[in-house]
Amino acid sequence: MTEAQSPPDSSPTRSSASFWKYWSASATSRVGDGITTVAFPLLAVTQLQATNFEVGLLTAASYAAVVLIGLPAGVIARRFTLRRLQVTMDGFRALALLTVPLAAWAGALSLPHLVIVAFCTGLASNLFDVANSTFLPLVVPKDQLIARNGLMSSTASTTQLAGPALGGLLVQLVGAAFSILLDALSFLASALLLSRIPDAARPAVAPPRTGFFKQIAEGLSFVTRHRVRELGIDAGMLSVWVKDERRRIAAAEAHGDTPLEAAEQAELQRLRRQVAELEKDNAFLVKASAYFAAMQKNRPGSL
C-alpha cells in the first residue's frame, strides 16, 4: 500500500484549531446522519403512505451501500487526499438530500427516488467515515492522539443518540421534508469546516501501487489477523452477556408482590456483582481496542 509521511507536530495541520474544526465537522456530520435515519422513513410514511415493507427498503438500501463499499472504502481513501475526500462526500450527501424536499414540495416525490438517495448517501457516509477516522492522526500531535481518539469515540456515541432524537423533534416541529433540508445544510456546514483545515503533507515517496483488488485482499487479511478484532469480538460477547444478566436481574426483581426469599435475594445480589464485573471488563476491552487502533494509525506509514 502507499506509504504516507505524517506532517510534523508543529505543522498547521496539527494545530488545536485544526482539531476543533475537525471535531465540529465530524459531530455535525454524524448528527446529520442521525436526522436522516429518522426523517427518511417518516417522510415515506407521511408523504407516500409507504407500507412497512417499503420503509424496510429504505433501510435495506443503506445497508446494501455499506456492504458494497465497505471493503473498497479503505483503498479509495488511500488514493485521495483525506480532507478533500471528506469535503466531497459531505457535498455529495448534501446535494442528494436536497433533491428530496424539493421533490416533496413539487409533488414529484416517489419511493424509488428515496431508495436511490438512501443508497447514495449510504455510500458517501461510509467513505466519509473511513476518511474521517483515518484523518485524525494528521490533525493531532502524537502525544495527544489517544486522548483525542477517546474524545472522538465519546462524541460518536453521543451523536448516535442525539441525532435520531433531534431528527424526531425536527419532524414534529417543521415536518419531515424540511428536516431533511436542514440535514443537507448540516453536511454543507461540515464540508465548510473541513475545507478550512490545511492540507496534510503529501507523501514524500510514493512506491508503485498494487492492484485495487489486491489492496482490498491485503486489508481484509490484516483485519482478520489483528488483535483489535479479537478484542472487539470479546467486547461484543461481553455486551451480550451483560444484557442477558440484566434481563435475569429484571426477571428476579419482577418476581411478584411477595418479598424475595433469602436464596432468591442472594442470587439477585450475585447477579448484580457479576454484571458490575462484566461491565468493567467490557469497558477495559473497549478502551484496549481504541488504544491498539490508535497505535496502529500512529505507526510510520499509516494514515
| Element spanning 8, H or E | none
270 and 122 inside one domain: no
Same domain, 232 and 200: no
pLDDT of 219 strictly over 70: no
Domain of residue 90 covers 12-208
218 in any annotated domain: no
Pair (127, 23) in one structural domain: yes
Helices 16-48/52-78 angle, 10° precision: 150
- Which residues, including other chains, have CB under 8 Å from residue 263's CB and lie 6 or more apart? none
* Whether residue 114 has pLDDT greater than 90: yes
**Could you tell me if 29 and 70 lie in one domain?**
yes
Question: Rounded CA gap, 171 and 190, in Å?
Answer: 21
Residues 6+ apart with CB under 8 A from 66: 122, 126
Query: How many structural domains is the chain composed of?
Result: 2
Q: Looking at residue 290, what is its pLDDT?
A: 60
Closest to 231 in 3D by CA, of 169, 293, 187: 293
Q: What digits encode the pLDDT tens for the residues 16-58?
A: 778 888 889 888 888 888 888 888 888 888 888 888 888 888 8
Asked, for residue 295, whether it belongs to a domain, the answer is no
193 within 8 A of 25, measured Cβ to Cβ: yes
CA dist., res. 41 & res. 59, Å (int): 8
228 CB burial (10 A radius; 0-12, 13-18, 19+): middle
**Whether the Cβ atoms of residue 97 and residue 121 lie closer than 8 Å to each other:** yes
Non-local (6+) Cβ contacts of 173 within 8 A are none
Q: How many whole angstroms separate alpha carbon 171 and alpha carbon 39?
A: 7
3-state secondary structure of 49: coil
Question: In this predicted structure, what is the pLDDT of residue 138?
Answer: 82
Mean pLDDT estimate for the chain: 75
Residues 134 and 282 in one domain: no
Q: Show which of 164, 179, 208 is a domain's final residue.
A: 208
Judge whether 302 lies within some domain.
Answer: no
Is the residue at 95 inside a domain?
Answer: yes
Whole-model pTM: value is 0.65
Q: What is the pLDDT of residues 172-212, one digit of tens each?
A: 888 888 989 988 999 999 999 998 887 665 444 344 456 76
- 241 and 174 in a common domain: no
Find the mean pLDDT for residues 92-103. 94
Angle, helix 111-139 to helix 145-174, in steps of 10 degrees: 150
Kindly state whether residue 37 falls inside one of the protein's structural domains: yes
Calpha distance 44→92 (Å, rounded): 22
User: Domain boundary at 152, 177, 208, which?
Assistant: 208
Evaluate whether residue 166 is within a structural domain.
yes
User: Mind listing the pLDDT tens digit for each residue in 252-303?
Assistant: 555 554 455 666 666 666 666 666 666 666 666 566 566 555 555 555 444 4
Kindly report the CATH number assigned to the domain that includes residue 58: 1.20.1250.20
| Helix or strand run (H / E) with residue 179 | helix 176-195
Helix (H) or strand (E) holding 84: helix 82-105
Q: 121 with 166, same domain?
A: yes
∠ Cα 234 238 239 (to 5°)? 120
Query: Rounded to an integer, what distance in angstroms lies between the CA atom of residue 89 and that of residue 108?
Result: 26
pLDDT for residue 112: 93
User: What angle, rounded to 10 degrees, do the helices at 111-139 and 262-298 form?
Assistant: 70
The verdict on residue 233 lying in a domain is: yes
Residues 115 and 231 in one domain: no
154 located within any domain: yes
Q: What is the residue whose three cell numbers read 483488488?
A: 213
What band does 100 get if pLDDT is binned at 50, 70 and 90?
very high
Quick one: pLDDT at residue 93? 93
Instruction: Mark whether 144 and 275 lie in a shared domain.
Output: no
**Contacts for 283 with CB less than 8 Å, ≥ 6 apart:** none
* Same domain as 237, residue 122: no
Do 171 and 235 lie in a common domain? no
Is residue 162 domain-shared with residue 283, that is, in the same domain?
Answer: no
3-state SS, residue 302: coil
Out of 177, 208, 239, pick the residue that ends a domain: 208
Percent of the chain, pLDDT > 70?
Answer: 60
Alpha-helix runs per DSSP H in the chain: 16-48, 52-78, 82-105, 111-139, 145-174, 176-195, 212-225, 227-253, 262-298
